[in-house]
Each structure stands twice: as structure tokens, then as C-alpha cells.
Structure 1
Amino acid sequence: MNFSTPVIYGSTLALLLCSSAMAAVSPEEAARLGTTLTPLGGEKAGNADGSIPAWTGGLPKDAGAVDSAGFLADPFANERALFTITAQNVEQYKGRLSPGQIGMFKRYPDYTMNVYPTHRSVNVPPAIVEAARKNALNTRLVAGGNGLENFTKAYPFPIPKDGLEVIWNHITRYRGDSMKRQMVQIVPDVRGVGTPVTYDHQYVLRESLADYDPAKPSNVLFYNKQTVIAPARLAGNVELVHETLDQVKEPRQAWIYNAGQRRVRRAPQVAYDGPAASTDGQRVVDNYDMFNGAPDRYDWQLVGKQELYIPYNSYKLDSPTLKYADITKAGHIDQGLARYELHRVWHVVATLKPGQRHVYAKRDFYIDEDSWQAAVIDHYDGRNTLWRVAEAHQQSYYNHQVPFYTAETLNDMISGRYLVLGLKNEEKRNYQFDVKALEGEFTPNALRQSGVR
């Protein structure tokens, strides 16, 4: 398959071309969810040659054992790679790789991709399936596409009509009603050595708060709080975000507590291409979670759907037997720990609007059809030069029916450095889902207490 002419599957193309960008789908279209489409809108059938199987319900909740720290057993641990892509044979596979992925082989002669059998492991709770169905019928874009109305929980557009709707599916995708985790970010030097920055991270949907009041007007979609645990020089610093549904009408609200100064301050720079803390300049704010925040600075073109080798079912990379030094190597993570599979993705091109500013003039998004998670994003500078390549190593937390990431990587093709975010191999506490939280825990007044050294 030629990368420059991605394949459109089924009747999706006709749907994309004939539907209004501002309207919800018809009951007849929505009836495809759970029949010809998965409950979240992916193509239920496999591909023509069977290398992508049909979706049959995803991994069950008892797909593997869970250890005392919450680490999941790898359901596919006994599988062997089908083949390995290397710098020597990459031309053979370039039709199923993004330009950025191909660039990694050119930049690093030792770079490899081990490709395994494809497993469509994504599964979500029944309440999220129902939310996606209701959203398909009722959710609409407002404010020029920069906000949502009649939206519930996750996946506003399971049958998308344009690139902006696809991006909204990523932004609002299901990550659990609430979640707590300890995670690590590392920016290795040219030798592959870096100091882990450990965060205590908490996320909660507003409507999942223990004291949620549906009668209380609010534009908040979710609350996000990160407290630095280590190293000691950064410990106690806290970042709090109120993520809004319409960030143009009501911009994201963010605060930072500096433990050294014992001071809380507003942080308007925590948005768009503001510098991300503790990253040595290796990412900007909206690189977090592959992409986050308001989409208003870009035009979003839906190119179509295609087959791509993407990181998937990354349980090996998440193993608690690994040390962070086993993962971070010179130039990139140890690719022998990464697992790639062939999946269908939505290809969306984001081009900076005239008169807007951002360090990335163009971004190519490749978004997994089953989870709506961004799997690969290629970033270009103002000269249209490939600058950074992001990959998200997908993992389904099958015991809670939550698709999420094992880790995100962001490789700088110019400097040769990279960042890896989300690792937890050496942490004592894994993900905790459905954690009850109160709205008062996510106020500026609560920051000082949560950030005490």
C-alpha cells in the first residue's frame, strides 16, 4: 500500500464527504455502532489479507494476573515477532510506516521495530459504550469547532466526519472515570543516561467527582494534578489544571505551586507551545498525552484511514523486572522492549492557521481506530522539516477495561535527544482507577497542602 494514498474503509468515505461538520449522525448511522462498527466506531471487520483480525470484544477483564503492585501479566508473552524492520529493509515496509518512523531508521542505524501478530485488545465498560452511542446522536461542535455541546464522558464522535472530530475523540477519550498513578519522565543525554523525575498524578472527570452536582454550571471537562515526588530539588512542586470543554470561550485554568517559594500562582503558559517543566526543552505543553488542549490554532484535515505499524499491547515494556536504565539508551529507548502491530489508524494533518503561532507548523496524527488514542505524531517546523517524532506505546488495562499508554516517547530528529514519559517500572504503586475525589481537592487553595515537602 502506498503511504501517500491511504485506503478509506467501507462506506466511511461517503460519510465523510456528505455530512455536515456541525451535525450529529442520524439514528440509521448510529445503528452501525456495535454492528458493522465496534461500539466506539472502529471497523469491526478485519482487513483483506487477515493481518488485522476482526474485533471480537477486546481483552476480557481476567485476561491475565495482576500482581500486588498492580502490574498486569502480558497475555501475549509467548508470542514471537513475525519479522523485524531494520535500516536495511525499511524500504520494504515504508507503505505502512509514517515519514517520522522512516526517519528514525535513517537517523539511527541500530533502530529496529519488532512486529508481532495484531490483537485488537481494546475494551471499555458498558457505561462508556452507551455514552458513545448517545454522543453519536447528540453531540455537536460549537464555537467554530473549539467546544462541544450535549456531550457525555467520552468519545463525542464515534462516527467522525472530519479531522477536528477525530481529534476531539482523542482529547476526550476514556482513561477511566478517575485515576491515580506514579509515573516517571526521563530526558536522557546523548549517552542514554538521565535523571528520572517522578510524579504523583491524579486525573478525574468532573462528573465522576464524589460531590458532583449536575445542576452546577461548569465548563470543566476534567481535573488534572501532578505533584513532583523526586528528585529532591523539585520535590513538592505541583501543577493543577482545570481542562475546559471550550478553551476559546474559557481558556484552560492552570496553577503552579512552587515548593521552594511556598507560593501558588496562575500559569497561563501551561498551554499550546508553552515550555514544559523539567524537560530540558525537549517538549512543549501540548505534547503531553501526545496532544492536549485547545485545537483552535490549527486547521484539521482528515486524510483518511490507513494501515500502520504502531506500538501496541506494550506489556513487555511495562514489566516491573525492568529498571529505567534498561529502557533508556542512546538516541532512543531499547527497541527490543517495544512491540509493534499492524492496526488501522485515522490520518489527520494539522496545519497552523495564518496569523497563529506555534513552534510546530504542521503535525501529522495517526490515531488508533479502536481506542481513539494518538499512536504516532510527526511534528514539522516552520521550514517543513521533520523535527520530532512521537509514539505512544499502547496498553489496555484489561482488569479495569481502560485503554491507555505504557509510555510516550518524543524523539528530536535534529538534536538527537529524546524524552520518555509515563514509565512506572520501578514505582511501588501502579495505576489506581475509580478513585473517589472531591472537587475541593482540585482548587488553588488545596495546592499548598498537597505540595508540602
Structure 2
Amino acid sequence: MKRFACSVIALAISGGAALSVQAEDMQEKISQIGTKYTPWGAEKEGNADGSIPAYTGPIAVPATYDPAKPGYRPDPFADEKPLYSVTSENMEQYADQLTEGMQALLRMHPTFRMDVYPTHRTASYPDLYVENAEKNLTACKTVNDELGLSGCYAGTPFPFPKTGNEVMWNRLLKFDQFAFETPVFTGSVVDARGRRNITGVAAMSIQYPIYDPKNTGPIADDAIYEMVRNDFTDPPRKNGQKTVVRDSIDMVGTGRRAWQYLPGQRRVKLAPDISYDTPSPTGGGVAVTDELAIFYGALDRYDFKLQGKKEMFIPYNTYKIQDQAVCPDDVAETPDHLNPDCMRWEKHRVWVVEATLKEGKRHVYPRRVLYFDEDLWGTGIGDNFDAAGNVYRVTHNLPITFYEANGHATDQTVTYDLSTGAYHRSQNTTMGGGWVITDGRPDTFFSPQAMSGGGIR
């Protein structure tokens, strides 16, 4: 008994010492905000060989940008040429900068390549977001087994994350804008035979109530952090359908609430299936709901382990593929994979998180490895594995900057299914005029009552 008691005391002392070291390390990092680190926790300096530059602030708005065409954002780096290309033949040379999923994709498709361009750190945030990120350094806490937040402000919740869940909260509360929408987004699937199929066309509105500039205090512990509404017009079987999704900071007590309006039944119904590993509404069997934007939704089915940071190739500044004049859909969506000529890859530092399915929980992906950019929390790559441990699907985002305001568009997503050879492109606004920033809609617009009142067929 005495030996057991001594062991307990020793563990308590060592645990206390570890916490003390962590607290000292955090205080040191906080003191270096603005010199060594950005307010959102990224390293300001470049890497050792200069292939990742220092962060010096947002990019200048190109002279060719026309505010009268807010959905069109010209490529500020259009004149740049790739530094090199990664292919199936030379991928071993760059293995350290390639996720396991990207390596599998290169091996599977000899025509797939990654043109690596000079790295540009183009993150841009409004002053309030930056100020709130700094407040969160000491104010923001996780609660309820890290499935909720308390005391947090509308900025990066955890600029210096200590756990995998904290990184995931940074992803979920990524900043694009308070409110933005597109008159037309398209979901499509290119099957293994190279045939392009439209899986959904809709007007889409996205709103983050926590980022309303009028909200300056802490976020309520049960606040709705994201609201999404889709009004479908195509294909014909979807015409008239509407969906609304509302996600809460409180994943345990409130969680996700979703509704669908079905014109054939002329009624609105709860849609709890718009979550987790339910097939994505526009995924055509190639993507599940919670891999949109790499990870989308509740954290309760996985244990998230933070593995640190790495230098990796990820899609970045992907203006070209979102330019109708350069890469319209019939040019961009080639057989087997997106047209490499329309893509841009850069080397960036990313946070790496391994997600392992909790005992007793169910998901088509028992394991996932997620990579999130240190500057743009919604940008990166997701490797999703099957029960045999093989790469099943690979997902990545295609980010650009909103020139008319501080912020980014990071929701266009591509998922490659390595088991079938098909791929899914989601929330593609290229042919529909792009994303437009708005002043926001009333919360009632994102309600089941609004859907039923406006539903027609």
C-alpha cells in the first residue's frame, strides 16, 4: 500500500510539473505574438531553406479586379510558372511533403501530377477576428469532453492548440466571412469511365452568426456558429428541394439541426441523416457528409490526436480553377482527376491530426489523417482510410482570397474515391458567378418555416 501511495504521489508531482512546463511554454508563446507568431498562432518566419516565406500580411488587390464583378477574382500570380512537378515517376523524391493519400493518388493515375508553385502566405483577417484570437489565448476553454466551448471569442479558438480537438475546433470555426452566398453552385461526379454527371445545382447561403461584426462579447456556450441553406434547381428530380443546416457550439446538448423541404410531399421534415458518414447530398456515392471541407460537423465519433506540424504540399491560391475564362467546368473536370493544368500546389506548414474511431461508434472511415494549414484553418487535405487500413478517399480544398474584404473562400472541395476511380467536386461556383459577400440574412431565413413558406414545384 505504501508503495502504491508513493507511486500516486510521484505521478501527481510529475503531472503537475508537466502542466507547469506547458503553462510556461504558453506564456512564452503569448509574449511572442506579433514577433515570432501571428495572432492566429502561425509561425511568422519562413522555413530554413526559404521555400516557405515569412508571413508579411495580405496580398495587394490585383489591378485587374473589378468591384462591379464581385464574384470574379483574378489570379494575382497568373504569370508565375511551376517550380517543379511531382509525378508518379519522381514522387519518392518528395515523399516527405506528400500525404499518404496523395501518394496513392499519384500511383493510381499516371496522368495525375502536382505542379508546385512559389509559396504565398495570403491569409487576411479583419481586425476584430485578430483581436478575438488574442483574447482566446487565455479565455477560450473546451468543455464536455472537448465537445463544447466556453468563454471563447469570435476568433481562432486555440492559436496554440495542445490537443487534436483544439485543432478541430479551429477548423470548425474557420473564418471565411460573416455571410456570403452564390446564386449557383454545382456538385458533380466524374465516374471511372470519365463521364461527368451533375449531382446538384443550387443557390447557397452560408452564414456564421458568431462572426457578425456587431457581436463583440464572448460566444454563448450554446450559440449557433454556422448556418447553411441550399435551394436546388437541378437535376430535375431535385428541383424545388431545400435544405437548412444549423451547427451549435454545444455538440452534446444541441448539436446539429437539419431540415429538408421535399416538394413532392409539400412538407418540411427533420433531416438528422445530413451528418457523419451519410452520403453527401450531392456526392453521388463518392463522398460522405462530414468530409466536406475536409471535416464538417460533430467531433463525438473520433478520438483526435495531435501529431504536430509538417511541411506539406497542399492546394493554395487556386484562382485558376475558379476562373471561368481559364478553366470552365468542361476543361477542369477531366477523367480520373481534376485537370492538373488548372491546379496550383504550394508548400505550407500544416497541423497534422489523426482521428481514430471511438469504441462503440460507427463510421465508414475508422481512421483519418487530417492536415490543416497554419494560416488558413479551413485549407488542407484529408486522408480517409477503410477498415483494412488502406487509403479509401482523399479530400482537399481549393482556397482563394476575398479581395473586397478580409477573408477567404475555402469551401470548394474535391474528393477522390480510390476504390472506384471516381471523384466528386462540391460547391463549385465557377460557372455560377462565384461567391458574393453579403450583409447577412435574418436568422429566420435559415429556418424550416422559411423553407415551407417559399417551397414550390
User: What's the TM-score, normalizing by structure 2?
Assistant: 0.89
Structure 1, unaligned runs of 5 or more: 1-16
In the TM superposition, what is the alpha-carbon distance from 1:27 to its structure 2 partner?
Answer: 5.6
In the TM superposition, what is the alpha-carbon distance from 1:48 to its structure 2 partner?
Answer: 0.2
| Paired position in structure 2 for 1:265 | 269
After TM superposition, the structure 1 = structure 2 runs for residues 10-409 of structure 1, keeping only pairs within 5 Å, are: 18=18, 28-61=28-61, 65-66=65-66, 68=69, 70-181=71-182, 182-189=184-191, 190-195=193-198, 197-207=200-210, 218-321=222-325, 322-405=327-410, 407-409=412-414
Aligned residue for 2:96, secondary structure, equals helix
Tell me, in whole angstroms, the C-alpha distance in 2 between the residues paired with 1:370 and 1:48: 18
In the TM superposition, what is the alpha-carbon distance from 1:229 to its structure 2 partner?
Answer: 2.4
In the TM superposition, what is the alpha-carbon distance from 1:418 to its structure 2 partner?
Answer: 0.8
Amino acid at match of 2:201: T
Is the CA contact (8 Å cut-off) linking 2:38 and 2:44 kept in structure 1? yes
Tell me, in whole angstroms, the C-alpha distance in 1 between the residues paired with 2:323 and 2:203: 19
Aligned residue for 2:398, secondary structure, equals strand
| 1:432 aligned onto 2:433 | no
Aligned residue for 1:144, secondary structure, equals coil
Query: After superposition, what is the alpha-carbon deviation per residue over 1:319-343, rounded to whole angstroms, capped at 9, x for unaligned?
Result: 1213211111111111111000110
Is the CA contact (8 Å cut-off) linking 1:62 and 1:399 kept in structure 2? no
Is the CA contact (8 Å cut-off) linking 1:184 and 1:423 kept in structure 2? yes
Is the CA contact (8 Å cut-off) linking 2:267 and 2:452 kept in structure 1? yes
Tell me, in whole angstroms, the C-alpha distance in 1 between the residues paired with 2:371 and 2:211: 29
Tell me, in whole angstroms, the C-alpha distance in 2 between the residues paired with 1:356 and 1:58: 42
Tell me, in whole angstroms, the C-alpha distance in 1 between the residues paired with 2:364 and 2:411: 27
Amino acid at match of 1:349: E
Query: After superposition, what is the alpha-carbon deviation per residue over 1:353-405, rounded to whole angstroms, capped at 9, x for unaligned?
Result: 11111110000011100111241110001111110011112212233221232
Aligned residue for 2:205, secondary structure, equals strand
Is the CA contact (8 Å cut-off) linking 1:227 and 1:450 kept in structure 2? no
Tell me, in whole angstroms, the C-alpha distance in 2 between the residues paired with 1:452 and 1:30: 54
In the TM superposition, what is the alpha-carbon distance from 1:60 to its structure 2 partner?
Answer: 3.4
Pick closer, same or farther for the CA change 1:221–1:405 going to 2, 3 Å.
closer
Pick closer, same or farther for the CA change 1:218–1:212 going to 2, 3 Å.
farther
Pick closer, same or farther for the CA change 1:19–1:156 going to 2, 3 Å.
farther
Tell me, in whole angstroms, the C-alpha distance in 2 between the residues paired with 1:386 and 1:63: 43
Structure 2, unaligned runs of 5 or more: 1-16
Pick closer, same or farther for the CA change 1:204–1:97 going to 2, 3 Å.
same
Tell me, in whole angstroms, the C-alpha distance in 1 between the residues paired with 2:100 and 2:210: 40
In the TM superposition, what is the alpha-carbon distance from 1:217 to its structure 2 partner?
Answer: 8.4
Pick closer, same or farther for the CA change 1:229–1:27 going to 2, 3 Å.
farther
Is the CA contact (8 Å cut-off) linking 1:318 and 1:406 kept in structure 2? no
Q: CA RMSD in A?
A: 2.5
Pick closer, same or farther for the CA change 1:188–1:449 going to 2, 3 Å.
farther
Tell me, in whole angstroms, the C-alpha distance in 2 between the residues paired with 1:450 and 1:131: 37
Aligned residue for 1:281, secondary structure, equals coil
Amino acid at match of 1:65: Y
Is the CA contact (8 Å cut-off) linking 2:429 and 2:435 kept in structure 1? no
Tell me, in whole angstroms, the C-alpha distance in 1 between the residues paired with 2:50 and 2:216: 48
Is the CA contact (8 Å cut-off) linking 1:247 and 1:293 kept in structure 2? no
Is the CA contact (8 Å cut-off) linking 1:224 and 1:243 kept in structure 2? no
| Paired position in structure 1 for 2:421 | 416
Amino acid at match of 1:144: D
Aligned residue for 1:242, secondary structure, equals strand
* Worse-superposed segment, 103-112 or 285-294: 285-294
Is the CA contact (8 Å cut-off) linking 1:131 and 1:153 kept in structure 2? yes
| Paired position in structure 2 for 1:4 | none
Amino acid at match of 1:233: R
Amino acid at match of 1:51: S
Tell me, in whole angstroms, the C-alpha distance in 2 between the residues paired with 1:60 and 1:451: 43
Tell me, in whole angstroms, the C-alpha distance in 1 between the residues paired with 2:190 and 2:335: 8
Is the CA contact (8 Å cut-off) linking 1:394 and 1:406 kept in structure 2? yes
Aligned residue for 2:72, secondary structure, equals coil
In the TM superposition, what is the alpha-carbon distance from 1:218 to its structure 2 partner?
Answer: 4.5
* Worse-superposed segment, 258-267 or 337-346: 258-267
Pick closer, same or farther for the CA change 1:217–1:338 going to 2, 3 Å.
closer
In the TM superposition, what is the alpha-carbon distance from 1:19 to its structure 2 partner?
Answer: 5.1
Which has the higher Rg, Structure 1 or Structure 2?
Answer: 2
In the TM superposition, what is the alpha-carbon distance from 1:261 to its structure 2 partner?
Answer: 1.6
Pick closer, same or farther for the CA change 1:266–1:23 going to 2, 3 Å.
farther
Tell me, in whole angstroms, the C-alpha distance in 2 between the residues paired with 1:33 and 1:63: 32
Tell me, in whole angstroms, the C-alpha distance in 2 between the residues paired with 1:221 and 1:432: 20
Query: After superposition, what is the alpha-carbon deviation per residue over 1:149-173, rounded to whole angstroms, capped at 9, x for unaligned?
Result: 1122231001111111111101111
Is the CA contact (8 Å cut-off) linking 1:376 and 1:391 kept in structure 2? yes
Amino acid at match of 2:204: H
Identity %: 32
Aligned residue for 1:366, secondary structure, equals strand
